[in-house]
Structure 1
Amino acid sequence: MAMLDEKLQDTYDDLVRRNPGEDEFHQAALEVLDSLGPVVAKHPHYVDAAIIPRLCEPERQIIFRVPWTDDRGEVQINRGFRVEFSSALGPYKGGLRFHPSVYLGTVKFLGFEQIFKNSLTGLPIGGGKGGSDFDPKGRSDGEVMRFCQSFMTELYRHLGEHTDVPAGDIGVGGRELGYLFGQYKRITNRYESGVLTGKGLAWGGSQVRTEATGYGLVYFVDEMLRSTDGGLDGTRVAVSGSGNVAIFAIEKLQALGAQVVTCSDSSGYVLDEDGIDLDLLKEVKLARRQRISAYVQERPRATLVEKGSVWEVPCDIALPCATQNELNGHDARALVANGCRVVAEGANMPCTPEAIDVLGQGGVAYAPGKAANAGGVATSALEMQQNASRDSWDFAYTQDRLEGIMRRIHRRCLETADEYGQPGDYVAGANIAGFTQVADAMLAMGVV
């Protein structure tokens, strides 16, 4: 990272002091602040109005106890979180993550990123995030239901279609969202379908929402390649992860002529030189909820690599779609050495600061998650629009809307980077474009 502007350095130092031990939040904030030097030089009124310190402080942080009973009749206790970061552009919008690693710093980094991601979509949604240290893996449907009902029994009082609208994230899929919405409806005695997104199609959900983050990522990468007179057809792609984002990124990549040779989970990665068998991967991960090793057992030509990094595999394009800080400096050097041309983030902040520096020095085009993976929340906002109008759009129309949004985000990133003297820098373009829209709204509303 470059040296921060003096005023921005003071803001960052204060943020670290006030939020001790929240390393991911510090990392996310530093990455944005590092881009804003040209902005505060050109527009000092943002500094005078203390926009940046205000933006770094959540409007509201909610932490609560989640008691529930397991199948043995034993009481379990988890911790729930909701960080409502910014409502300058609309109701707080961002997913819920259920994973043992979740703590306040995780939720704050995700919520901070969400502010700028949601701004880039051009849709009227603010930024927030939530979750719990509950682990749904290995739990029965009854246990997941009881946890979700207890979680929502506290969270419901903070939600509303004009206030805060959660969605899913890691560990929160259709099953969990169904239980959460059912409890919200039960407590409030209202059918407010717009209070959660990612819902089932039979009860207010949107076509393409399941596919949206993965599809949107690929549309963004396609635009990156087209801007240099290339295209996805014939490219070799390494993908990490095997959840919704990875699976539907693979689906769209294959549809556009790319060969995807990897996927992964916490047990290792699969190398399939014939190209990932998408139907088998969906069966293993989405239908059976099994480990990635089950894919290899039914696909003898594929190899399971339990140790090592998926980023050691030679590729033209690398799409980290698993979790934060999964791609480090060593991995980035391997990608550069193997001739990788593009890295785009499907997960939230999967590249470490060192990795980003190495990619830049190696001439690899790099797209941050707040731009490249914005398709999920964009389609959630489209779901909110359908719910508000009591309407339902077909798959093709919704997909066209998603594609248009992602291609506009790409154009906006490049145009903003050019405007502020950072041509071709997707990080600067995304951060500045996302920031200025929120900052202008905050200025218009006064000190609130």
Structure 2
Amino acid sequence: MRTDSEEMDPTMAHEPGAPLRVALLGCGVVGSAVARQLVDHADDLAARVGAPLQLVGIAVRRPQRPRPDVPVDPTLFTADADGLVERADIVIEVIGGIDPARELILRAMAHGASVVSANKALLAEDGPTLYAAADAADVDLYYEAAVAGAIPILRPIRESLAGDDVRRVLGIVNGTTNFVLDRMDTSGAGFAETVEQAQALGYAEADPTADVEGFDAAAKAAILASLAFHTRVSSGDVYREGITEVTAGDIQAARDMDCVVKLLAICERVTGPDGGDAVSVRVHPAMIPRSHPLASVRDAFNAVFVEASAAGPLMFYGRGAGGDPTASAVLGDVVAVARHRVAGGRGPGESAYADLPVVEMGRSRTRYHISLDVADRPGVLAQVATAFAAHDVSIETVRQQAAPGEGERAKLIVVTHAASDAALAATVDALAELESVDDVASVLRVEGA
């Protein structure tokens, strides 16, 4: 028999045939699905790992609450999360948020447990603390489920593309916003109406702020950029715009250009102020051509488009949320870390050797679609063109439309060539100051063309 101290020493080889003790923190939609899959597929999981996975407890706020959809012994439910993580070999954290998740993960690692987490917010805010704790304890920290649900994207970037040079990651990583924008495109409905529909279908929370304002996508973008560019990127480094200002008119303008509007997470290598490589990470709505692979991502699905030097373009597509899809990613990580425990080793940890600077949004290069309400008289187009030229922004196309019901007003649609975001923003400010411009009605970035 092993002593208590030996049981908590992750550097020792696992005793052949002994079960691995699994603790589950949280039993909401994802946690319930994880528990069901641990029970329903126990034999297959044991065969794949090389040892049984024994669920030793589920930490919840109200242990006595009936949970008929979770097929486990009711005595496994406990409010003592601290004690639970201290007696586990593997801890699965699906409670979300910063605290107490951070303290519980650190406690678990200090007692020799490997950790599988779906906590994008915590990893994006304080990943380095968790990576350091995992290194100090010589345990695994895996988090595939933190980005894009069931889609295997983090491990391919971290491991399969480890020998390549990732240049850009472009993704739809929030299902709620994709559903809203897709329905606005296909039905012509407005933003508020479509959000209500998403809430009725269970795609959006009662308070959808984290989704529609881009916070959720920004956390995921930080994780993707950190892995892709071997650089520590936090959610505070990510430029963020949500979709609350996207109107039915913007959707129609995109349709007129044979484009769709998507909320994109964009992580890319750019040229830094010193002329060397740097990293730009941003989340915002943008028009993309309907011919682009991401344009066909419908409803609440997610997709991530990766561009690597040798591998070229790669596309990862699937369900980005939901109990069973996310549980699939969690269990994939559980099997991986369990195999490491059986073999007496651990998987790859953080790779931040590149330590590239993360630059401000203004250095990113993009194209703009700008809709202006202007006076319909000679010389207006020349004034508008001068404003663009003054900030070294080249115009690609200009289209003028008569304003409905107003003989002396017109709508001017300008699409630019790629320029720095700072130059484009300064141009928009200058346009708003022109006497001939009544309103800068709409501004959207254009990507993927």
* TM, length-normalised to structure 2: 0.27
Q: Greater helix percent: which structure?
A: 1
Q: Which of these two proteins has the greater Rg computed from alpha carbons? A: 2
Q: Greater strand percent: which structure?
A: 2
* TM, length-normalised to structure 1: 0.27
